[in-house]
A and B are shown apart, each in its own frame.
Chain A
Amino acid sequence: MTMSPIQQADQFFVTSQHRFVSYLPAEFQSLTSAILSVIAIVLVFALLFAITTVLERKGLGRIQNRYGPNRVGPAGFFQPLADGVKSLTKEDLVPRTADQMVHFLAPVLLVTAAFLAYAVLPVGRNMVLVNLNAGILYFFAVGSLVELAVFMAGWSSRNKYSLLGGMRAIAQMISYEVPLVLASVVVIMAAGSLSTVSIVDMQASYTGIWPHWFVFTPWGFAGFILFMIAATAESNRSPFDLPEGESEIIAGYYIEYSGFKFALFFLGEYLGMFATSGLAITLFLGGWAAPFSFLTWIPSYLWFFAKLLLLIVIFIWIRGTLPRLRMDQLMSFAWQFMLPMTLFNLFVAGVWHFMPSGIVRWLVCIALLVAPAILLSRSLKQGKKFAVRHYRFAE
């Protein structure tokens, strides 16, 4: 088996893992290789979490014309270390009335569920922990554990704010789970497979220099946008961060958490964001595939993480821009816009499949998507009178 240097670089982690495992007795081999992959995933994404927190704080600072963290280490880049030390040494308070067991389990479950999702994400060529043939189904099943964890946290704290936050989180996450799944169904339709690996393989070919990513089709583009909106809501990010609305329910479901458990919530939230972004990359942005055929010499895992960082930057940008929605706005947006649009998108994907390829197919599909989007947004606006509000008790 000979490989070119490019392939060697691409498969470096895979081959080194194989080589390491081959020294072990046969009965330990599969177990060890699984453990190695798990350790790698945990380390890499925890590191990514650390980097993201600095980037986010610095980026948000710049957006608000501030410096952001700039004290710890060069340009403040060791800030996560300081934060880690701080959260580890802080007192871990548990309310006396709290349900101790559930209170303890909630952050653990959150982080575990977030990490479990990475099992089916192909971060590079041949670099996936398990190639499940129902990978996407598994991903969403594990992803819904997050809701359970959040509600456990809200319920067990025995605090009215945390309970409100937990209930908001449940309402929001379940509402947006529907468009999230429906937005990804178009890809499953096109790929004819639930396996993440084969979905990426389908997109990793080129016409000329152009890749076959699903995002470069009308339904794929619409699906990607809808998916990202739903993913923002799923990961409780601004402008959908109602469950933790500081202004009205202080910190929502993790109000009673301090010290390291609080840090775990943070970690879980960011891991969830990375995982859904990773799935968006897998489904729409060609996974680890290079964006142009002449760039395929760059190792595949680098492409995956470059795309992931790009999505993270967009998330940060959005967070620095949009204010938080109100609960009713959030809900009506989910059910009156997102859901119909994702259903339309399914239809458009079907039309695309059965029409002969050509410019007509493009025009028809774009028209079929733009028209309902405009109509739906019109109808959402209707019946809303924009006027000065009068508050009875706050004058």
Chain B
Amino acid sequence: MFGEGILKGLAETARNFLGSYVSKKRLTTVQYPEQRLPQIEAYRNFPFLVYDGDDWQQGLRCVSCFICEKECPPKCIIIEKSTDKKPDAVGKLQFYPKVFNIDVSVCMSCQICVEVCPFDAIKMDTDFELSSTDRFSGLLWDKKHLAKSNEHYHKIHPTEAAAVDAQLAAERAKIAAKTKATAEAKPATPTPPANANGAGPNAANQPVPTATEK
């Protein structure tokens, strides 16, 4: 009949209207600033720089290799290399970034910087409340703003961080074995030494650190 569908529709919307006052299940809205949904582990937003230990300057893993700067599609990473060296996450002496800026207004959250970094120095953060009243310098984040502790990384992405930590520990062990081996090999003949850590016999010949694949 003419108009039957309209009446059906009106009944449906009336049911929704009244139902939303009766059953709380219908209202799925989360009242955001007061209520929050639990964060999903795979969520990612903007990059941050990981540091180990308590001192964010000393512990910074980044060795200023410029790979991320070159790979970043919108070119929003700006790095300046230091002149001196400091030990990196695995204990080797490396350069460190004097300046490390990311323009988050340009960053498109593609995670490519994270994929390419061979030193596990840059990871994706989950913080999304980033608005600033200063649209220029407020959105150009410097090294200090970007540096976040490894504990923070563990908090936001526990599985991933654990895997990274295990890998770094293995590399540290390799380095330790290598230095020990070279120390032992110096006075003795250059035969391969007995491996104390159980790593393969050619572990000492591998380039360190290895490129990480995730």
Please give the residue numbers on chain A whose beta carbons come within 8 Å of chain B beta carbons, in ascending order.
Answer: 59, 62-67, 317-318, 320-322, 373-374, 377
A374 CA to B4 CA, complexed, in Å: 12
Residues of B contacting A64 with CB < 8 Å? 16
A317 CA to B12 CA, complexed, in Å: 11
Residues of A contacting B29 with CB < 8 Å? 66-67
Stretch of B19-27, B66-74, B91-99, B161-169 that contacts chain A:
B19-27
User: Nearest-CB distance from B211 to chain A (Å)?
Assistant: 44
A317 CA to B11 CA, complexed, in Å: 10
Q: Which of B6, B14, B28 is within 8 Å of A65, CB to CB?
A: B28
Q: Which of A67, A321, A377 is within 8 Å of B9, CB to CB?
A: A321
Residues of B contacting A373 with CB < 8 Å? 2
Residue contact A322 to B16, C-beta cutoff 8 Å:
no
Residue contact A322 to B27, C-beta cutoff 8 Å:
no
Residues of B contacting A322 with CB < 8 Å? 6, 9
Residues of A contacting B2 with CB < 8 Å? 373-374, 377
| B43 CB–A CB distance under 8 Å | no
Are A320 and B13 also in contact (CB < 8 A) when A65-B20, A377-B2 are? yes
Residue contact A62 to B17, C-beta cutoff 8 Å:
yes
Are A65 and B27 also in contact (CB < 8 A) when A373-B2, A374-B2 are? yes
| B173 CB–A CB distance under 8 Å | no
| B108 CB–A CB distance under 8 Å | no
Are A317 and B6 also in contact (CB < 8 A) when A62-B21, A66-B27, A67-B29 are? no
Q: Which of A62, A64, A67, A322 has the most CB of B within 10 A?
A: A62
A318 CA to B14 CA, complexed, in Å: 10
A374 CA to B27 CA, complexed, in Å: 40
Near A by CB (< 8 A), chain B positions 158-204 give none
| B106 CB–A CB distance under 8 Å | no
Residue ID in chain B nearest A65 by CB atoms: B26
Residues of A contacting B28 with CB < 8 Å? 65
5 nearest A-B pairs in the assembled complex, by CB-CB distance: A377-B2, A321-B9, A321-B13, A65-B26, A63-B13
A65 CA to B26 CA, complexed, in Å: 6
User: Nearest-CB distance from B43 to chain A (Å)?
Assistant: 24
| B112 CB–A CB distance under 8 Å | no
Q: Is the interface of B mostly helix, strand, loop or mixed?
A: helix
Residue ID in chain A nearest B16 by CB atoms: A63
| B208 CB–A CB distance under 8 Å | no
Residues of B contacting A320 with CB < 8 Å? 13, 17
A66 CA to B26 CA, complexed, in Å: 8
User: Nearest-CB distance from A141 to chain B (Å)?
Assistant: 32
**Chain B residues touching A, range:** 10 to 19
A322 CA to B3 CA, complexed, in Å: 12
Q: Which of A66, A317, A377 is within 8 Å of B14, CB to CB?
A: A317
| Known A65-B26, A320-B13; 8 more pairs at CB < 8 Å | A59-B17, A62-B16, A63-B16, A65-B19, A320-B17, A321-B12, A322-B9, A373-B2
Residues of B contacting A317 with CB < 8 Å? 10, 13-14, 17
User: Nearest-CB distance from B1 to chain A (Å)?
Assistant: 8
A374 CA to B3 CA, complexed, in Å: 10
Residue contact A321 to B10, C-beta cutoff 8 Å:
yes
Residue ID in chain A nearest B12 by CB atoms: A321
A123 CA to B81 CA, complexed, in Å: 78
Residue contact B17 to A63, C-beta cutoff 8 Å:
yes
A38 CA to B9 CA, complexed, in Å: 40
Residues of A contacting B17 with CB < 8 Å? 59, 62-63, 317, 320
A317 CA to B7 CA, complexed, in Å: 11
Residue contact A67 to B27, C-beta cutoff 8 Å:
yes
A320 CA to B9 CA, complexed, in Å: 9
A117 CA to B26 CA, complexed, in Å: 42
A318 CA to B9 CA, complexed, in Å: 9
Residue contact A65 to B10, C-beta cutoff 8 Å:
no
A321 CA to B2 CA, complexed, in Å: 17
A367 CA to B10 CA, complexed, in Å: 26
Residues of B contacting A65 with CB < 8 Å? 16, 19-20, 26-28
> Could you list 24 examples of A-B contacts with CB < 8 Å?
A59-B17, A62-B16, A62-B20, A62-B21, A63-B13, A63-B16, A63-B17, A64-B16, A65-B16, A65-B19, A65-B20, A65-B27, A66-B20, A67-B27, A67-B29, A317-B10, A320-B13, A320-B17, A321-B6, A321-B9, A321-B12, A322-B6, A322-B9, A373-B2
Residues of A contacting B13 with CB < 8 Å? 63, 317, 320-321
User: Nearest-CB distance from B96 to chain A (Å)?
Assistant: 46
A314 CA to B20 CA, complexed, in Å: 18
Residues of B contacting A59 with CB < 8 Å? 17
